[in-house]
């Protein structure tokens, strides 16, 4: 794991990194936009309730920019206001994946140099989640955002199990396939169901006795590397991840483990 700080960050002229706050029109004006729904019927009272709630959140001069009657006694608001809080950006330290970003041909060359067989990878969108956009972006041959998916790499042997795969079914395929790595995508994550689902998979893999031989990776809109580590995974990839990021990490991490 790579624990990086912000000490080498470059800031706009005149910015104090120890007192960072949002801005809209001018630096440090604190202007923010906030949207939320209220379980009250649309009207002057609802509008005032939205304004007061924004004020309770610490926003100065809150004003209603947009409002919509959602029907059935619900209303929706977009509120502008000024944030009065600042944070010390220079003190932030975030766990990051320790890897070199490589392209398709670089990864293939790296794999051919270090492995005499294809690396086996199983991917799935697990639990009740029926959205395969995440796992398909990483694994499908066509890839995503100009980068080929893992199915396109000759040095990888992959199985994309699709959506709504139970942890029991995924574990059985991991064992049967003798997978080197597993990719778990969690896109729809109401009430933090992704956290319990991912943690359960780690427990099951450990109970099966294959954890030490398996590289476990998860990804999704609400996944970060820090969250993944807390859940017992080896790495977590969030929004903006491309297939080559995952492929490169798998290749480099497996080599790193062989050397340790």
Active site positions, annotated: 142
For 227, the token pair is 């969250």
In degrees, rounded to 5, the angle at the alpha carbon of residue 128 between the alpha carbons of residues 127 and 129 is 90
Residue 33 has, within 13 A of its CA and on its CB side, a CA count of 6
Beta strands in the chain (DSSP E): 2-5, 31-38, 59-71, 74-83, 93-96, 119-125, 156-160, 181-185, 215-219, 235-237
Question: Contact, 46 vs 75, CB < 8 A?
Answer: yes
Cα separation, 216 vs 121, whole angstroms: 10
In degrees, rounded to 5, the angle at the alpha carbon of residue 214 between the alpha carbons of residues 250 and 94 is 55
Residue 58: phi and psi, rounded to 5, are 100, 10
């Amino acid at each position: 794991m790579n624990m990086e700080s912000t000490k080498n960050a470059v800031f706009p002229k005149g910015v104090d990194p120890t007192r960072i706050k949002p801005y809209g029109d001018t630096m440090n004006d604190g202007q923010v936009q906030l949207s939320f729904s209220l379980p009250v019927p649309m009207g002057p009272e609802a509008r005032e309730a939205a304004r007061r709630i924004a004020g309770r959140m610490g926003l100065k001069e809150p004003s209603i920019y947009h409002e919509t009657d959602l029907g059935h006694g619900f209303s929706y608001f977009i509120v502008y206001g000024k944030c009065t809080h600042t944070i010390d950006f220079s003190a932030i330290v975030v766990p990051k994946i320790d890897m070199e970003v490589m392209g398709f041909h670089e990864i293939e060359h790296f794999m051919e140099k270090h492995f005499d067989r294809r690396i086996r990878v199983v991917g799935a969108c697990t639990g009740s989640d029926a959205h395969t956009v995440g796992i398909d972006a990483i694994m499908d041959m066509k890839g995503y955002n100009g980068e080929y998916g893992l199915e396109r790499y000759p040095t990888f042997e992959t199985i994309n199990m699709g959506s709504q795969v139970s942890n029991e079914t995924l574990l059985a395929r991991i064992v049967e396939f003798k997978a080197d790595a597993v990719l778990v995508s969690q896109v729809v994550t109401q009430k933090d169901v992704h956290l319990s689902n991912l943690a359960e998979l780690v427990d099951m893999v450990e109970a099966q006795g294959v954890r030490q031989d398996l590289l476990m990776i998860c990804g999704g809109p609400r996944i970060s590397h820090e969250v993944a580590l807390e859940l017992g995974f080896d790495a977590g990839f969030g929004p903006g991840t491309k297939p080559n990021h995952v492929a490169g990490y798998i290749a480099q991490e497996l080599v790193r483990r062989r050397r340790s």
